[in-house]
Amino acid sequence: ARSLVNSDKSLLEIFCPNGGDRVEVRGKNMHVYGYLKNFLFPKEFLDKSVALLSGGEKNRVALALLFTKEYDVLILDEPTNDLDIATINILEEYLLSFEGAILLVSHDRYFVDKIATKLYAFEGDGYINILHTLYTE
């Protein structure tokens, strides 16, 4: 995803590489704008070069690409770093609807409390505490 985000291609070219205006999203065929507006992209951005987007917009493109695929397991390392509040909300919404397993490393306690159902707290000396509670409790 990162190589596409750093390319000169437009959003339309990235999400519809074979032409047209349809994108496959986790097994469902969607109109590309219908999908990308979920990531706060206005219609006029479809033809815009990704290279011209801001860092936050590029992060949203990377998330949108990630979410088009079906996965059984997601491994996320500090996923909220460098994301604005709106993008964190999009990420939370997707992860809460995700049916697979999520291995998450984060210092964002609010995010962990919202997403995690089981915590493995590495306490030191090889001890792992398994918690079925909120991290902040």
Q: What percent of the chain has pLDDT over 90?
A: 60
State the average pLDDT over residues 19-42: 93
Torsion angle in degrees (nearest 10) through CA of 80, 81, 84, 88: -10
Rounded CA-CA distance 70/105 in Å is: 21
In the chain, DSSP finds a helix count (H) and a strand count (E) of 6, 6
- All structural domains of the chain: 1-70 (no CATH), 71-137 (3.40.50.300)
User: Does the pLDDT at position 14 exceed 60?
Assistant: yes
Q: Strands of the chain (E only): list them.
A: 22-25, 28-31, 73-77, 101-105, 119-124, 127-131
Q: Could you tell me which residue, 26 or 3, shows the higher pLDDT?
A: 26
Average pLDDT across the chain, whole number: 90
Rounded CA-CA distance 124/120 in Å is: 12
State the average pLDDT over residues 19-47: 93
State the average pLDDT over residues 39-45: 95
CA distances (Å), 4 to each of 20, 31, 75, in order? 18, 20, 20
- DSSP-based three-state secondary structure for 34: helix
User: Does the pLDDT at position 1 exceed 70?
Assistant: no
Say if residues 32 and 16 touch (Cβ distance below 8 Å): yes
Token pair belonging to 45: 């951005």
- DSSP-based three-state secondary structure for 129: strand
pLDDT digit string, tens, across residues 81-121: 888 899 999 999 999 999 999 999 999 999 999 999 898 88
Residue 61 — pLDDT band, cuts 50, 70, 90?
A: very high
Say if residues 104 and 76 touch (Cβ distance below 8 Å): yes
* Per-residue pLDDT, 131: 87
